[in-house]
Amino acid sequence: MFVNIVKYIFELVKTAAVMLLIAFIIQTFLIQTYIIDGISMEPNFHTGEYIIIDKISYKFSPPKRGEVVVFDPLESPDSYIKRIIGLPGESVKIASRAVFINDRKLDEPYLAGLTETLTASQTFDGKSYTLRDNEYFVLGDNRPNSKDSRSFGAIKISQIKGRALLVFFPFRNFHII
């Protein structure tokens, strides 16, 4: 009887160890969860929502315009979530409450329904920002209430932790990004 109990406990410990190892590998290399904190991405993301980010896809292909990413800004210990607007080598200009990429107005369907996207004080004074290799210009969807590349400049690919895949909690807000 004692031998059976020891075998059972050993199997439990072994199973738990394997599960922890698998969870560690998944969270370290493949996906990770984050909790949205703040209003900078409203109305598309809200405080308290849990998201899953994909940590591996940018190892194989570069980020694309319009994708939502989680990254570590150089100035803060907290991770930020923003949308990629400008890609390496492009010129970004914000003027007349619109974003221009290489002097062409950017179509931003994810901002549909927002009454105000950029305020006069956040127009970047109409100056262009030219991105270098491995640099990305990011903006929050809630432009009047977002600390983004307009304030801290472009981010490097090395700062990006991953691409937002889906909102999974609260369940009523579940959606694929």
127 is catalytic: no
Of 40, 55, 146, 149, which is the active-site residue?
A: 40
* 99: three-class secondary structure by DSSP: strand
CA distances, 55 to each of 32, 72, 134 (Å): 7, 13, 17
- Catalytic annotation, pick one of 55, 82, 93, 146: 82
Catalytic, 40? Answer: yes
CA dihedral 112, 113, 115, 121 (to 10 degrees): -40
Task: Give the residue among 72, 109, 108, 65 at the shortest CA–CA distance from 88.
Answer: 65
Asked if 34 and 50 touch (Cβ cutoff 8 Å), the reply is: yes
Q: Which residues pair with 91 in a beta bridge?
A: 130
Catalytic residues: 40, 82
